Amino acid sequence: MTTSLFILIFSFNNIVWIIYGVRIAVLLPTDLTSPYAMVKVKPAIDLAVKEVTNRQLLINQTIQVRYGDTNNSYILGPLIAIDFYAKQQADVFLGPVDGPGLAAVARYSPHWKIPVISPGGGFNYHFDNKKEYQLLTRMLHSSKTIVRFISRNILPHFNWTVVRIIAERNIAEAQSECYMLMGALCRAVKNSSASAEMKETCSHSIFDIDYKLRNETREKLNKTLKDAKKEARILLTCMDSNLFREFMLTAHSLDMINGEYVFIYLDIFRLL
């Protein structure tokens, strides 16, 4: 089955008019805590459709927009996309925005011949594989930009050869943005090393976070920093800004704010 533009045919004054249409299927969560919640994105889509119509950018064509609530589920999102496809209600997908859900829909899309546009997927470098994700366009800077800047510019400039990467992973998520970005960064640091001796200069520390268990989180931060002190003085961190405050307070209690350690914080949450 292949998609095609829907067609409206009607007669007026013995003249047959044929109007083609573009069908947009929007796959977004309704969860208000999501930066891409449907209620936040829908006004922008409405304005875009109105602007395209007013400027007559699509001659003799109309635009139909349908919405599907993915509920931030990597299972439900692809199922809704399949439903849109089966009913021939999509010429383009906007979303999903969660990484696993986006990956599934983007893999199906070449077979359906339906492009996918999404700001989601975060810093998952796997989406750079255009053989697998042929029709995917992501409206987000690539993780390669950040990774290359740190591994090829910052670290060599200061001659920092031993680093510790610390990232959070929310237990409510299959893979967090920090987890994926910092994993890619650690691999880049190791691969960019010129000598075999420098291959193991990047150690990776991941700690799972349950924001409901505050005391347990503090204990994990304390253990993570104690382990880091034994291996490196250059600490690259990625976590929620509120958690980073706790992180630095813990570092202060461990006498790590004394000029002997460098903390580099990647606030990717402002970039999403």
Report residue 62 as tokens: 């109309």
Half-sphere exposure of 127 toward its Cβ, with a 13 Å CA cutoff?
31
CB burial string 81-115: b at 16+ within 10 A, e below: beebbeeebbbbbbbbbbbbbbbbbbbbbbebebb
Domain ranges of the chain: 6-138, 143-270
SS3 of 249, please?
Answer: helix
Model confidence at 17, pLDDT cuts 50, 70, 90, reads very low
**If you average pLDDT over every residue of the chain, what do you get?**
80
Angle at 105 between CA 104 and CA 106, to 5 degrees: 90
Q: What is the pTM of this model?
A: 0.62
The reply to whether CATH 3.40.50.2300 applies to domain 6-138 is yes
Q: What is the pLDDT of residue 199?
A: 44
pLDDT of 102 above 80: yes
Side chain identity at residue 27, one-letter code: L
CATH hierarchy code of domain 143-270: 3.40.50.2300
Q: What is the pLDDT of residue 253?
A: 94
pLDDT of 254 above 50: yes
Q: What is the pLDDT of residue 89?
A: 92
Q: What is the pLDDT of residue 240?
A: 78
Q: Which residues contact 37 (CB under 8 A, 6 or more apart)?
A: 28, 29, 30, 31
The larger pLDDT score, comparing residue 241 to residue 201, is at 241
φ/ψ bin of 124: left (φ > 0), alpha (ψ from -120 to 50), beta (otherwise): beta
Report residue 267 as tokens: 């606030």
Distances (CA, A) of 88 to 60, 116, 160, 163, 194: 20, 15, 55, 51, 53
